[in-house]
Amino acid sequence: MFFSDIVGQDKIKSHLLGLVKENRVPHALLLAGSPGSGKLPLALAFAQYLMCQNPRENEPCGTCSACNKVSKLIHPDLHFVYPSKAGKEKVDSPDDAKADGQEDLLAIWRKMVLGNPYLDETDWLDAIDMRNKQSVISVATASEVIRKLNLKSYESDCKVMIVWMAERMNQQAANKLLKLIEEPPAKTYFIMVSENPNLIIKTILSRTQQIYVPPLSSSSIAIALTEKLGISPDRARDISRVANGSYRQALNLLNQSTSKYFEQYRNLMRLCYAKQYPNLIDWVDDISRLDREEQKDFLNYSLRLTRDSLMLNLSLENLSYLMGDEAEFGKKFSPFLGMANVNQVARAFTHAYECIAQNGNPQITFASMIFQLAKLIGPSGNA
């Protein structure tokens, strides 16, 4: 991947290039930031630049053997770690691509990343049929990392290990890798990618050089949509405003006018306002049939719509990222969200998210949530 392929993030690109030019590339680098900001594309472009045989001033050459292989994710000295089911995940190089005659995780990973390097964990879990399960980077993977990186390089002067969603390392895996991250073999580089570095154990964090990758600017997203995908400037501006700094979200918005969770949110708010408890119980039954990742997505979406409706209540339309049916509903709903109740409404969604993320019972979690919201939504709940 070329740095020029990455949407925005010019300061981060310049910083990474400077590390190479000044010969101060850390042995362990952590790219941390929100989903869709470009952390994985940056890791891939940086890895290609490190491994390129004839790097140019600001880009890998794109024509040498190393560039050709890295661009296809098949270079034998470029390795990947990604979350999966405990005891089943692999740390992959081309030698790992055979598994019982079936497409293994490496093949799926390559296909996903080459198709859209802005993927998030939900996309990945969908692809490996684990959407309703907890993923992990386990001690078995850590052992394989150690084995791989203690081998001599096959073709390149250096070896690169990209650890995607590094916060998924369990305690045992992190402790096992600690010594290797602190003192890796010569010219061996860890590039970790994380959306929540606070979940990475402190002893690992202290051994990495951390780079914060900020959300993308609306202008960067709009330019990319127009130049890369041929979207009209007006539509690109609308989408970039709603994407909230995420290029992945912008790509998703291209094919939909409203979220697939909009009807569920609108029905929930209407039922809470009317205090229709029997129908709310039916709503709980419906939402509980979704898989766990979909439930988390709904709760995240609900927090966003709640926040944007509050902006409308405060006459801050320029800070609201709603469009289409969402915007129409937000205008009608916003009078019932104010400073007196919005924090409690947001807290109800956040608490439900935390419970679902920790494998809480969906029926109990959502039942508790609806009774809290029914007390807060409506004339008596709004100041």
The ranges assigned to domains in the chain are 3-214, 219-253, 262-381
pLDDT tens column, 292-331: 888 998 998 888 888 877 776 677 655 555 666 777 777 7
Instruction: Determine the distance from the C-alpha atom of residue 54 to the mean position of all C-alpha atoms in its chain, rounded to a whole number.
Output: 32
State the amino acid at position 304 in one-letter form: R
Helix (H, G, I), strand (E, B) or coil at 240: helix
Reference 138, options 182, 93, 91, 207; nearest CA is: 91
**Which of 218, 176, 233 is closest to 321 using CA atoms?**
218
Please tell me the predicted confidence (pLDDT) of residue 353: 92
What is the spatial distance between Cα 361 and Cα 350, in angstroms, rounded to a whole number?
A: 15
CATH code of the domain occupying 3-214: 3.40.50.300
pLDDT above 90 (res 184): no
Q: From the centroid of its chain, how far is CA 370?
A: 28
pLDDT of residue 89: 44
CATH fold for the domain made of 262-381: Zinc Finger, Delta Prime; domain 3 (1.20.272)
Higher confidence at residue 8 or residue 259? 8
Task: Compute the average pLDDT of residues 153-172.
Answer: 89
Asked whether the predicted pLDDT for residue 102 surpasses 70, the reply is no
The per-residue pLDDT for range 322-378, each reduced to its tens digit, is: 666 777 777 777 777 777 788 888 899 999 999 998 889 999 999 999 998 988 887
